[in-house]
Amino acid sequence: MFGLYLLLQLPRMCAALKDKDFGKGTMHRPHVNPNAELSTTMKIYDHYSLDRAYMGETFFWGLIPLQGDTINFKFSPPIYIERYT
């Protein structure tokens, strides 16, 4: 679930749009993942890092993804991935 908050400015008009689900319910579900080295080229917002998200502490929040940005997972030992959710 992602919250979206936009501020639109048009001549003589300003409208605040808010995702209907923003602020409702839990945005993070704790979990356990296999050992991995993580890296990303995305800029991270506040303390919502990829490492903390992968450890199940919080969620990842990257700022304005750009073309060519990556999120990399190197599993140690290597694993077979059947699915992701």
In a domain, 23, yes or no: no
Task: Using 70 as the pLDDT threshold, list the residues of the chain that sit under it.
Answer: 1-28
Asked if 59 and 80 touch (Cβ cutoff 8 Å), the reply is: no
Q: Which amino acid makes up residue 11?
A: P
Residue 73: predicted pLDDT: 93
In a domain, 2, yes or no: no
Domain count, the chain: 1
What pLDDT is stored for residue 16 in this prediction? 62
pLDDT at 77: 93
In a domain, 14, yes or no: no
Which residue range forms the structural domain that includes residue 61? 30-85
| Residue 78 located in a structural domain | yes
Position 60 in a domain = yes
pTM to 2 decimal places: 0.61
**Separation of alpha carbons 33 and 84, rounded Å:** 11
Would you say residue 24 lies in a domain? no
The pLDDT value given to residue 3: 44
